[in-house]
Every structure is written in C-alpha cells, then in structure tokens.
Amino acid sequence: MLDKELNITDAEWRIMRVIWTLDTATSRELTNVLGESMDWKPATIKTLLRRLTDKKIIEAHKDGNKFIYTANIAENETIDLASQKFFNQVCARKVGSAITNLIDESELTQDDIDKIQSALNKKVPVEDIECNCIPGKCDC
C-alpha cells in the first residue's frame, strides 16, 4: 500500500489524471492522449510510468505483449493528501487566509458552496494558533 507521504511531480499528475479518467490505461493510450496534448515522447511517458510504479502509486499488469496500468490510490484521496501536504508546509497561522483565498479564486457550484458552508457551521474555532515559522523572523 502507498505510504502517506504523497510525492507526485507535476508531470506524474498528468499521467494520473489520464489513468483515473480511463480507469485502466495502456502506455499506447497514454501516449495517444499525452503525446498530443503535452507533446511528450513515448520514452518520457515510459519513464514517468516506471517512477509511478516504483512509488507504488500505480500498478502494471502484463496483458499479452502490453502493460495495463491501474491506480493504487483514488483521485479524491490523492487530492486530499496533496492539499494536506501543501497546508503542512505553510505557517499554521496563514492556513485560514490561504483557504479564504482558495475560495475566492475557485469556481464553485451551489452544491460546493453548500458543502463548504455546512463544514464551516460545524467547525469549532480554537482560541489561538501558534506560529510555526522560524522564531523571531516573521510577523505573523
């Protein structure tokens, strides 16, 4: 199983988006989609597929003379892990304004807005958030 330390590069995300959309993908299918949209050579796609397989993010099954790739992790779970990873990298005191900015900058349906509002209604505020920047070097 995948460890919780998600480590996917921008290029690997491109591959994953195709695999999640198609459910299973052969390297030929990936080359068709990404060769055109990203102008990637088959060798580039093979390298990315090998890295993703090494990281156990995807699995390769041999079928005749080709490999079929499937994701080991769901798209939603990956998005959640990537967002958590990002928010772990910023000062705890700046998370609130980063979330506000994300909401400002995002296109949201009424359903999305209802979900966000209901999450906010249930959220219990804390008294204070400790700054975790370098001591004395920030003005949070």
- Residue of 11, 131, 134, 136 interacting with Zn ion (CB under 5 A): 131
Q: How far apart are CA 37 and CA 45, in angstroms?
A: 13
Cβ-in-10-Å burial (0-12, 13-18, 19+) of 57 comes to buried
Instruction: Determine which residue in the list 79, 102, 108, 140 makes contact with Zn ion, applying CB under 5 A.
Output: 140
Helix 27-37 to helix 10-22 angle, to the nearest 10 degrees?
Answer: 120
Residue 40 CB contacts under 8 Å (≥ 6 apart), including other chains: 31, 34
79-118 binders of Zn ion (CB under 5 A): 91, 93
Task: State in angstroms the smallest separation of the CB of 95 from Zn ion.
Answer: 10
Count of chain residues binding Zn ion (CB under 5 A): 6
For residue 16, the SS3 value is helix
CB nearer to Zn ion: give 85 or 93: 93
CB of 90 to Zn ion, least distance (A): 9
One-letter amino acid of 34:
L
Among 77, 83, 33, which Cα is nearest to 57's? 77
Task: Tell me the β-bridge partners of 62.
Answer: 67
Toward Zn ion, which CB reaches closer, 102 or 138?
Answer: 138
Q: Which of residues 38-67 bind Zn ion (CB under 5 A)?
A: none
CB 139 to Zn ion: min, Å: 8
Residue with tokens 């990281």: 55
**Which window, 73-81, 82-90, 109-117, 131-139, contacts Zn ion (CB under 5 A)?**
131-139
Q: Please, what is the minimum distance in Å from the beta carbon of residue 94 to Zn ion?
A: 7
Summarize as ranges the residues that interact with Zn ion (CB under 5 A). 91, 93, 131, 133, 138, 140
